[in-house]
Amino acid sequence: MITPQYLQRMARYNRWQNESLYGAADTLSDDARRVDRGSFFRSIHETLSHILWADQIWMSRLSNWNPPSVGIADSGRHIEAWDVLKTRRAEADNIFISWSDSLASSDTEGDLTWFSGAMQRELVRPKAVCMMQVFNHQTHHRGQVHAMLTAAGAKPEDTDIPFMPDAYL
């Protein structure tokens, strides 16, 4: 279904896009990053916090990451300090790349079983689908952040995978 090469590309795309969004968000004041802009997780900061929270929860199931200490309801406030959020995001992106670079084709096979707090039950899904979900989820919410940043006057980079700079490949 998917290959390690796909996951490696997505991990690198993830880092590029996060650097773009966090760089654009850095041009705003902390208050501007925390304004309720009508998104599901309300603000730029809370949406970025939720993305990192979700990365941690998924990768605690797929790899050896520690799960976050809060549930989904508090995921937008998972990391309150902007500088801490930026640092942890960059660290997570580097770990994503190391993780994806270490995968063999067999690592994407089989099923993953976990208890879903969102669904309040145990789920079993193909591991490859769960790995795709990690990156799909990031892209979904980063799109929301991109729109909020643009509306706030910030200028994130392009988001198209074919235009990813060679430095990220």
* Domain membership flag for residue 168: no
Structure confidence at residue 8 as a pLDDT band (50, 70, 90) = very high
* Domain membership flag for residue 24: yes
| CA separation, residue 164 to residues 106, 149, 169 (Å) | 28, 20, 8
Report whether pLDDT(105) > 90: yes
Q: Give the DSSP per-residue string, 91-127.
A: HHHHHHHHHHHT--GGGG-SEEEEEETTTTEEEEEEH
State the burial class of residue 90 (Cβ atoms within 10 Å of its Cβ: 0-12, 13-18, 19+): middle
Residue 53: which domain range? 4-161
* Domain membership flag for residue 167: no
Instruction: Supply 112's token pair.
Output: 């993953």
The domain spanning residue 43 has which CATH number?
A: 1.20.120.450
Report whether pLDDT(118) > 90: no
Q: Which residues contact 44 (CB under 8 A, 6 or more apart)?
A: 25, 28, 32, 33, 34, 35, 37, 145, 148, 149, 152
Assessment of whether the complete model's pTM goes beyond 0.85: yes
* Domain membership flag for residue 40: yes
* Domain membership flag for residue 96: yes
Instruction: State how many domains the chain has.
Output: 1
Per-residue pLDDT tens over the stretch 15-62: 999 999 999 999 999 999 999 999 999 999 999 999 999 999 999 999
